[in-house]
Amino acid sequence: MPAAKGGRGDGQGADRAAHGPPRSEPGALGGHRGGGRGPQAVPARRAGAPGPGALPLTSVDPLAAVRAEFAAGLAARIETLRAALHRLERGFRSEDAQALYRAAHSLTGTAASFGAEGLAHVAGDLEDLARGWLERGVALPEEWTAAAAAVGELDLAAREYRATVQSGSARSSAARLAVVGELSSLINAAVDMREIFQGAIQKVQRVLDFRRASVVLIDEAATHYYVHTLYDRARDGFVPGEAMFPVEQGVTGQAIREGRPIRVDSLPGTEGILLQEGKRVSAMIVPLHVGDRVIGALNFGHESEGHYTEEDLDWAVVLGRQIETSLYYSKLLSTIAQQREALAREHATVQAQRNQLEALIDASDAAIMLVGPDHRIAYANAEMATLVGIPREAVLGASLESLQRFFAGSFVEPAALAAQGEALTGEATLHDRVDLGFPRRAVYQRVVAPVRDRGGAPLGHIVLYRNVTHEVAVERAKSEFVSVVSHELRTPMTSVKTSLSLLLAGAAGPLESAPRELLEIALRNADRLIRLVNDLLDLSRLEAGRMEFRLEPVSLEDSVAAGL
């Protein structure tokens, strides 16, 4: 049959029997051409007796027939529960609630006895709801939703149980269960989605007959789905598939929209499955979930009508569940890997910043250490270790108390160490100069200050010692120079002032107005120089701590005038 309109040839027409033509007029179950019949779902064929080539299991389960009978009757049991729930939704009656409770209670016990834990768990939830309705005589609105969801979960649980208790050949059951186990191992072996899909299809083809198998995924807009992985037996393996189909069209779109598996026994054949016009094919579509969201579907197609049974669909659902688990863990592992990489990058960035900060501190000529809130040394550079007199490795992590004992013998004035201890336990900043006698006699500028992060949380205290012996010597020399120069200038300036005063007083005879004016200017400047010399001497006394102050009120006007 020719390719459907809108397709991309044989490679892209993968499962058009299930998908419907890409972006064409919507049909009930997917578009088709020609005068053939539309898609038809017919009753499933029951699996027959094992063929002559069937291999028996090593041991026969004596309850196999009973389990098969229980599995076969699950649909009727679930329908009884659904009917009772529908009657209750139309109007609450205790008789219907009692019927729902009895049916759920019976299914709970029977399922548990046959090891159908999933069925027993969901039926038990429904039993609890019905018991509550009987006790209260009313059902809450949210309980209707929970009950309807429970019935839907029972359908899925029943499919899974029937897939494990098939009435077909022992070889088929054992082989299919083995494939389920292999798919479970795929969870730990694969992370990439394409690897998961291809691995699953390769394993499934050993126990399920199909011409084509594909995995389709929904796009980000959730309006179309596309063929992600496509296997074609006639083309000896996986082939490229890039076709896109509207979610609103085709059987696959229906399975995705409704979130439930679909088996169709009769679909119009296309070039994706058959080349002969008028032939019809069969297909199974199982939606794939990650969490509560349908992300795509698993499709199987065969050249014959009615090829797949209800048991095949049950088993395909189990396969879908295994693939979903693989997808969940692949996404989880991918997320964990991304988080791990992000943390590694963040750690590397923080470590690089820490290394840069430590390099800057180590390059400083000051002795620096950080004392943590636990009063232990969080960091200390080499200069601090030298100042304390012990190896740097011994300083890092040491308690503040032990380090203070090493410091004790270094201070010329013991009170200076006590001031440091007080600053390390408080919030005030200590900024002073101290004399140390170890490792050599020197004067240090000391700073002890609290450190906080950007949020204001305390990180501890920083302690800094910088050798300022040279600066102190320079300051002392400067002060001494100023003092000496001031004294040396003061004596001759006093003589100059005295001489000028005598001349102005007429000691050398009468003065003309012009010479007198010049002498007065010289006297005023001499007084100014003497005041400057006196100020320099006062500054020297202030720096040396020898200035005595006598505080008293003064006139602001006189002070301003004197300054001018």
The string of pLDDT tens digits covering residues 210-264 is 889 999 988 888 899 999 889 988 888 898 876 889 999 889 999 999 999 999 9
Lowest mean pLDDT among 31-35, 262-266, 420-424: 31-35
The CATH number of 16-33+167-334 is: 3.30.450.40
The H or E element containing residue 222 is none
How many CA atoms lie within 13 Å of 93's alpha carbon, on the beta-carbon side? 9
Please tell me the distance from the alpha carbon of residue 282 to that of residue 14, in angstroms, as a whole number: 14
What is the mean pLDDT of the segment spanning 505-529? 87
Query: CB-based contacts of 327: which residues, under 8 Å, 6+ apart?
Result: 193, 196, 288, 290, 295
Distances (CA, A) of 472 to 119, 334, 367, 465, 478: 89, 63, 18, 15, 10
The CATH number of 64-163 is: 1.20.120.160
Residue 336 amino acid letter: I
Cα radius of gyration rounded to whole Å, the chain = 48
Lowest mean pLDDT among 46-55, 379-388, 396-405, 422-431: 46-55
Distances (CA, A) of 356 to 97, 352, 362, 396: 73, 6, 10, 18
Q: What is the pLDDT of residues 536-557, one digit of tens each?
A: 888 777 777 777 778 889 888 8
Question: Would you call the peptide bond into 26 cis, given omega within 30 degrees of 0 as the criterion?
Answer: no
Per-residue H/E/C for 43-72: CCCCCCCCCCCCCCCCCCCCCHHHHHHHHH
Ranges for all domains in the chain classified under CATH 3.30.450.40: 16-33+167-334
- Asked whether the beta carbons of 155 and 294 are under 8 A apart, the reply is no
CATH number 1.10.287 given to 484-563: yes
The CATH number of 365-467 is: 3.30.450.20
Please tell me the distance from the alpha carbon of residue 24 to that of residue 497, in angstroms, as a whole number: 117
% residues pLDDT > 70 (the chain): 81
Residue 512 amino acid letter: E
At 273, is the pLDDT very low, low, confident or very high (cuts 50, 70, 90)? very low
Instruction: Please tell me whether residue 373 adopts helix, strand or coil conformation.
Output: coil
The pTM of the whole model exceeds 0.75: no
pLDDT at 31 over 80: no
- Asked whether the beta carbons of 285 and 297 are under 8 A apart, the reply is yes
Q: What is the pLDDT of residues 73-88, one digit of tens each?
A: 888 889 999 998 889 8
pLDDT at 20 over 60: no
Residue 466 amino acid letter: R
Here the tokens at position 53 are 């080539």
What backbone phi and psi angles, to 5 degrees, belong to 329? -70, -30
Please tell me the distance from the alpha carbon of residue 272 to that of residue 275, in angstroms, as a whole number: 8
**pLDDT for 165:** 67
Ranges for all domains in the chain classified under CATH 1.10.287: 484-563
What backbone phi and psi angles, to 5 degrees, belong to 84? -65, -40
Please tell me the distance from the alpha carbon of residue 329 to that of residue 497, in angstroms, as a whole number: 100
Please tell me the distance from the alpha carbon of residue 323 to that of residue 212, in angstroms, as a whole number: 18
pLDDT at 275 over 80: no
- Asked whether the beta carbons of 218 and 294 are under 8 A apart, the reply is yes
Please tell me the distance from the alpha carbon of residue 81 to that of residue 107, in angstroms, as a whole number: 10
pLDDT at 25 over 60: no
Pairing outcome for strands 244-246 and 224-232? antiparallel
Number of other residues whose CB lies within 10 A of the CB of residue 206: 11
Here the tokens at position 349 are 């960035």
Ranges for all domains in the chain classified under CATH 1.20.120.160: 64-163
Lowest mean pLDDT among 73-87, 211-225, 274-288, 511-525: 274-288
Please tell me the distance from the alpha carbon of residue 463 to that of residue 370, in angstroms, as a whole number: 6
